[in-house]
Amino acid sequence: MKKLVLKERRIKFTPEDTPGVICLDRTIQGDAVVISGTLKLGCDSRKLSTWLEKAVKKAAGDVKTGGGTMGQIKAALSRTKEEVITVTEDNGIETESSRAFSRVSIAAVIYISDPKTAENIIREALSSVRASARELK
């Protein structure tokens, strides 16, 4: 009889999969600095929309204060609830409700002389949403 060998497969997680980690990408397009950022949160609060709106409005104000001009800032919020289903040898089935997750995404086009300033403004916006979410715990 042939022996069955199972190979271990490792799943690689990116920082974007880790709750609480802010991931940013910055590119230059002509005179504009384009920033995209994501943040995964281990909660599904209805307050997230309000916090995100406040953070984006503050970011727009920070661009003006920093001497820049806003092209646009777009923010998106998606919510996911994961469920885990386990089947045992005796065909018993268990369904466990996992916790909910939310993903916040921000894309910004900013006309400013210092690209790092634009990046810091968006990082601060995501940080403020993360801080508000942590207050729930």
Q: Is the pLDDT assigned to residue 8 strictly greater than 70?
A: no
> Domain 22-134, CATH 3.30.70 — does that match?
yes
Does this model's pTM top 0.85? My answer is: no
pLDDT tens digits for range 39-89: 999 887 788 999 999 999 999 999 999 999 999 999 999 988 777 777 777
pLDDT at 12 (0 to 100): 56
Distance CA 102, CA 77 (A): 7
pLDDT at 15 (0 to 100): 72
pLDDT at 5 (0 to 100): 52
pLDDT tens digits for range 105-123: 999 999 999 999 999 999 9
Distance CA 35, CA 73 (A): 9
Which candidate, 42, 53, 65, 74, places its Cα nearest to that of 128?
53
Distance CA 135, CA 137 (A): 5
pLDDT at 60 (0 to 100): 96
Residue 37 CB neighbour total at 10 angstroms: 20
